[in-house]
Chains A and B, each alone.
Chain A
Amino acid sequence: MKNVSKLFVIFVAVFIFVLVNAATFVSAEESGCVSCHTNLKKLLKITSAIEASKPKVEKPAESKGEG
């Protein structure tokens, strides 16, 4: 009986936690932009692929240096 009430308390706690944070979970999951731009592994993979596909361009000498 004690185990059942313990489980019930845990269930209620988890339920309340999910309920309170639902808005955050939903908005983060809803947006494909966020799911990718917060994921380091995905970003590393994609940005590496983009960089590799870019043609190498030498900067002209007059644009080197700082402003």
Chain B
Amino acid sequence: MAPLEPYEKVQIDTDFLDEDEDVHGQVSCEKCHGGNPESNDYKTAHEGVVRDPTYPDPSKTCGECHAMENESGHPEIAGKSKTSFHMSLAPFKNKIYLRANPDSCVRDKIDNAMGTNCSACHSSCGQCHVSRPGSVGGGFIDGHLFQKTPPVETNCTSCHGSRVGQEFHGENEGIPADVHHTEHGMACKACHTGDEMHGIGMGKEPFDRYEVANRAKCEDCHKMAGSEKTEADKQGKDLVHPDHAIHQGKVSCQVCHSMPYKNC
């Protein structure tokens, strides 16, 4: 992904101001970002400006419309964000705590390190739907126009790049791309739905990504041959190989079907 020039990062496309192109452009800049729009000097104009008003709490920006389910017809999104792993990064802390020395002195150091380093790498409503994530330098995806689906290259693989994107797209020498990409042209969101990305909203926060109730599952598309299927189930090939009947419910799909991949 080519880096953006500093001016490109902040240049607003005039289409953003056209209500027919993007309704978000009808909200005044300072309502979300603060600052002083009356000033002609960029230094004073930017005093108090919040670059990403959707992190850590989007309730006063996105949440004004996309809060909890209501009669406005906007989907419930911002209210769930506290349980979105892109926002909370909770699994990192959970996993590190599992392995680390329980001594309070060590825990303090971990918390300190996470606060100053790890926590800088997160995403938010704005860093998926408006700009590139801050951890890769930020900058508008398309002149501040809101993207209903975050683009794969500028957003998903800008963070999940060398250890997911390259495998999926077949960019590692000698290792073919994922069949879902080559044969079916599927992008990330085909499996990882917005519902999964936005968090569950209520109840106990999942410990890690494997506990996310609405996470991507192979079985959502690939059913056992002969089983009852809804219309949506029919998009994936049936599991006709006899080994599936033997291993069903005992072994995860990726145990047999994973490809060589990079790891930390």
| Residues A43 and B10 in contact, CB atoms below 8 Å apart | yes
CB proximity of B150 to chain A, nearest CB, Å: 16
A50 touches B135 (CB 8 A): no
Decide yes or no whether B212 CB sits under 8 A from chain A: no
* Interface members, chain B 11-29 (any A CB < 8 Å): 11-14, 17-18, 26, 28-29
Instruction: Report yes or no: A33 in contact with B42, Cβ–Cβ below 8 A.
Output: no
Which residues of chain A have C-beta atoms less than 8 A from B162's C-beta? 65-67
Please tell me if the beta carbons of B7 and A38 are within 8 angstroms of each other in the complex: no
Tell me what chain A mostly uses at the interface: helix, strand, loop, or mixed.
helix
- The answer to the question of A5 belonging to the interface, with a C-beta cut-off of 8 Å to chain B, is no
Q: Which residues of B contact A61 (CB under 8 A)?
A: none
- List the B side residues contacting A67 at CB < 8 Å: 121, 135-136, 159-163
Query: What's the minimum C-beta distance from B264 to chain A, rounded to whole angstroms?
Result: 10
Q: Determine if B11 and A37 form an interchain contact, defined as CB atoms under 8 angstroms apart.
A: yes
Kindly state the separation between the CA atoms of A34 and B11 in the bound complex, as whole angstroms: 9
Contact at A40–B37, with CB atoms within 8 Å? no
Given A33-B35, A33-B45, A67-B160, answer yes or no on A47-B29 (Cβ-Cβ < 8 Å).
no
List the B side residues contacting A40 at CB < 8 Å. Answer: 7, 11
A43 with B17: in contact, given A34-B29, A66-B162, A67-B160 (CB under 8 Å)? no
A24 to B36, CA, bound (A): 20
Within 8 A of B (CB), among A22-65: 24, 27-28, 30-34, 36-38, 40, 43-44, 46-48, 50-51, 65
For the complex, is B30 an interface residue (Cβ under 8 Å from A)? yes
Listed in ascending order, the chain A residues whose CB lies under 8 Å from chain B are: 24, 27-28, 30-34, 36-38, 40, 43-44, 46-48, 50-51, 65-67
Can you pick out 27 interface pairs between chain A and chain B where the beta carbons lie within 8 Å of each other? A24-B17, A28-B17, A32-B37, A32-B39, A32-B40, A32-B45, A33-B29, A33-B30, A33-B35, A33-B45, A34-B17, A34-B29, A36-B42, A36-B45, A37-B10, A37-B11, A37-B12, A38-B14, A40-B7, A40-B11, A43-B11, A46-B42, A47-B5, A47-B10, A48-B6, A65-B162, A67-B136
Contacts A27-B17, A67-B136, A67-B160 known; list 10 others, CB within 8 Å. Answer: A28-B17, A32-B38, A32-B39, A33-B29, A34-B12, A37-B144, A38-B14, A43-B7, A43-B10, A43-B11
